[in-house]
Copies of this chain bind each other. A is one copy, B any other.
Amino acid sequence: MENKFTYQQLMAFTKEIFIKMGCNETDAEMATTNLLSADLRGVDSHGVARLSGYVRLWDANRVNVKPNINIIHETPSTGVVDGDSGLGLVVAPISMNLAIKKAKEVGTGWVSVQNSNHFGIAGQYSMMALSHDMIGIAMTNASAIVAPTFSKEKMLGTNPISVAIPAGAEFPFVADFATTTAANGKLEILQRKNEPVPDGWIQDKEGKPSNDAFELKKGGALLPLGSDREHSSHKGYMMGSIVDIFSGVLSGANFGPWVPPFPAYIPMPENQPGKGIGHFFGAMRIDAFGSADDFKKNMDQWIHRFRNAESTNINQKVIIPGDPEREFESERKINGIELLQDVVYDLKTLGDRFSVTL
């Protein structure tokens, strides 16, 4: 079986699946753009590999493919969006556009979102601000698989933060990271190889350190960025908490252990305090803080200086956030996207069900 596909092939296939699910053309296009952006940028865990997961959520009646997405509260610089149980992949870009619109009007825009679903990669939304000469911010809460410092219980999601910052001649600065020690992608690689995980990534269900890549399925938890108290895991816990509160509490979505799980087979938490999953978006016009040209010139200097800092290893320069993903993107646009055998099988099964050819 051929496992390598062009961007266009995967784009056409994925969009058609969303349309067959009942999405309109525009929504299907938005959702597909985000998923494929993850595949292009090397975040394979968040790309078309998740398409069947979204379909299962729809099968479980947890995704509304014809949502009535509404602004339910606003001020000149803020808004709250009700995603009406829509795909996060659709609710998120609409909400980010609202933040951008408000930034045009009063300098910055901040939008908290309730009643949404998983939105894919955060970086896709923060980067929407760049072409407007704005700094973009995107974050989301997610179902609880992370244990706070001193907790046995899983209380937070991987709760990623993305910040995209325009530059001048240099490529933009694009940070996009989960507030955990372990990257999901790396954990999955070790699972497939059946290899142990490094110290400091995971704890077992008693809260003891573990090196078992499958520990999460046995009641264990991911650890916050910092790994343990001696290495300041309370800071990762605080960051994850801030993302949870901005995304969930501010919007009226669920928060902490009540956030709906992505896998459709996991039952919904009981006594949920809010609606769906929450996101938080921000946009800041760089010329709301002075000359945009000066800002870009200084960002170029920042990037140039950091990239050329003396490195610890002659073969490894200091990385500017966004560099690795951009390199993946350039390469995969030309050479195509290689999918895992399991993912191809999943997509073909979906294709058979919806009569769409991959």
Contact = CB atoms under 8 A, between A and B. Distances in A.
B309 A155 contact: yes
A24 B150 CA distance: 46
B256 A306 contact: yes
A106 interface: yes
A28 B55 CA distance: 62
Interface in A203-226: 203, 206-208, 225-226
A298 interface: yes
A301 B289 contact: no
A76 B78 contact: no
B76 A311 contact: no
Interface string A300-311: 011001100111
B318 A148 contact: yes
B181 A302 contact: no
Given A77-B77, A80-B290, A110-B288, 20 more contacts: A75-B108, A77-B107, A106-B106, A148-B309, A150-B319, A151-B306, A153-B310, A155-B309, A177-B234, A177-B235, A179-B235, A181-B232, A183-B232, A198-B231, A227-B231, A234-B319, A239-B239, A249-B295, A252-B298, A273-B301
Contacts of A181: 226, 231-232
Interface string A91-129: 000000000000000111010100000000000000000
A350 interface: no
